[in-house]
Amino acid sequence: MSGKALSDSERVAIENSVKAVIDDVLSAAERVDMDGIVRHYADVPWASVMNVGYFYPSIKAFESAFRAGFSQMTRQSIKPEETRICVLSPDAAFVAMYGNTNSVGQDGGIGGGHFCLTLVLTSVDGKWRIVHAHQSFVR
């Protein structure tokens, strides 16, 4: 990260870029498209995901676990109630979000509840990538 101060227009441009990534991740999650989600994660040694008390020390571990869960779903609805994007530097930002989710299983069962999500993103080769995610659900 650099110590360079950002202008308002630079900060807004970064916020918009990060929002586009988040919108694409949410859209992929609603389609239960793991490939569409994972393509926004940086496959770097320090990347990690925490989900409802579980720690996945790599993007590969996260992908494997979620792919198994997604195979039990046909679709889900994710409705953020609030999303906050904080630009930390020209190459780092975090997102805090909460909202509601509903899912439909392969067996027709319906689940859902409230969720909280925090993401840390960094610019990798000029593209915004998620390097850490922490999510929790209240059913």
The residue type of 94 is F
Domain that holds residue 78: 8-138
For residue 59, being part of any structural domain is answered with yes
C-beta of residue 94 within 8 angstroms of C-beta of residue 84: no
Give domain status of residue 111, yes or no.
yes
Residue 27's pLDDT band (cuts 50, 70, 90) = very high
Q: Give the model confidence (pLDDT) of 28-82 as tens digits.
A: 999 999 999 999 999 899 899 999 889 999 999 999 998 888 888 888 999 999 9
pLDDT value of position 90: 95
The total of structural domains in the chain comes to 1
Q: Which of 41, 21, 4 is nearest to 97 (CA)?
A: 21
SS3 of the chain: helix, strand, coil, percent, to 5: 30, 45, 25
Asked, for residue 93, whether it belongs to a domain, the answer is yes
Residues 88, 113 contacting (CB under 8 angstroms)? no
What CATH number is given to the structural domain containing 87? 3.10.450.50
Determine the 3-state secondary structure of 66 from DSSP: helix
The whole-angstrom separation of Cα 63 and Cα 60 is 5
Token reading at 106? 């392969």
For residue range 90-117, list pLDDT tens digits in order: 999 999 999 999 888 888 878 888 999 9
Q: Return the H-helix or E-strand segment holding 50.
A: strand 48-51
35, part of any domain: yes
Cα(44)–Cα(51) distance, integer angstroms: 19
